[in-house]
Amino acid sequence: MITFPNAKINIGLWITSKRADGYHDIKTIFYPVRGLCDILEFVTSTTNNCYDNITVSGIPVGPDPSGNIVLKALTIMRKRVKIPYLEIHLHKVIPPGAGLGGGSSDAAFLISALNTHFSLGLSNEELSSIALSTGSDCPFFLSGTPAYAEGRGDIIRPVDYIKDNLHILLVWPGIQVSTAEAYSNCTPSPREEMLTSYFTRPPEEWKHFITNDFEESVFSKHPFLAEIKEKLCSSGAVYSAMTGSGSAIYGIFRKSPVIPSGLEKMIVYSGPL
């Protein structure tokens, strides 16, 4: 079975408190980027080996595929249901460590595909529980529709797609940002307002209200990311921000933009939002 796990961006990311369990409470809007996808394929193993095998191609994700989050999801799922050993191939197109949710998307798509392929009969609640045990933003990718998220990112409420025909330019300079490190360098700030009240405004107004709290600390360590954001704004982006804890920067445009000079080789996606 073949699936195509898609990327996401965060439109705003407020870190509101640190929790007793070590995680942080956030407020964010997860928005799918359908045009940027990995390729995930699995088949039932035909060997007598009592283990799963995964191979990875495309963008390098590390020297040891056995630590891939896809296998973590499979291990968690096997605690509830019986699944035969698998041969898995993952072709990475979504950059890792970029805030685009590629790993979480891979895991969520595998969870959903296994439930369908093997007729496991797991409910949406059970699938969400497995996804959350795998990663905080994994439950979002089970439906993949725009969502307002709170808590660890696991309290999800659907929001409408943006009605305007917008274009997105996604830039990744090859820098990988550790999520744990990014959180350790930020200072939570309680906020009573909801991002959704600003999200419904025209995108031209977002820059006045919708921020990513990670930008200050991440940009101080990687000033080039701030330069990318400035280039996108200077090229006509009505809104630009870092997604997640970085390091991908996106610009939202009213029409297909001219790619800013110097960023040509860093574009990982250019197309409809």
Annotated catalytic residues are: 8, 137
CA distances from 148 to 13, 19, 32, 120, 236 (A): 10, 19, 12, 29, 27
C-alpha span between 153 and 131 (Å, rounded): 12
The region that residue 21 occupies, defined by phi over 0 for left and psi between -120 and 50 for alpha, beta otherwise, is: alpha
Please measure the distance between the N-terminal and C-terminal CA atoms of the chain and give it in whole angstroms. Answer: 27
Residue listed under structure tokens 């605690």: 79
Pairing of the two strands 39-44 and 86-92: antiparallel
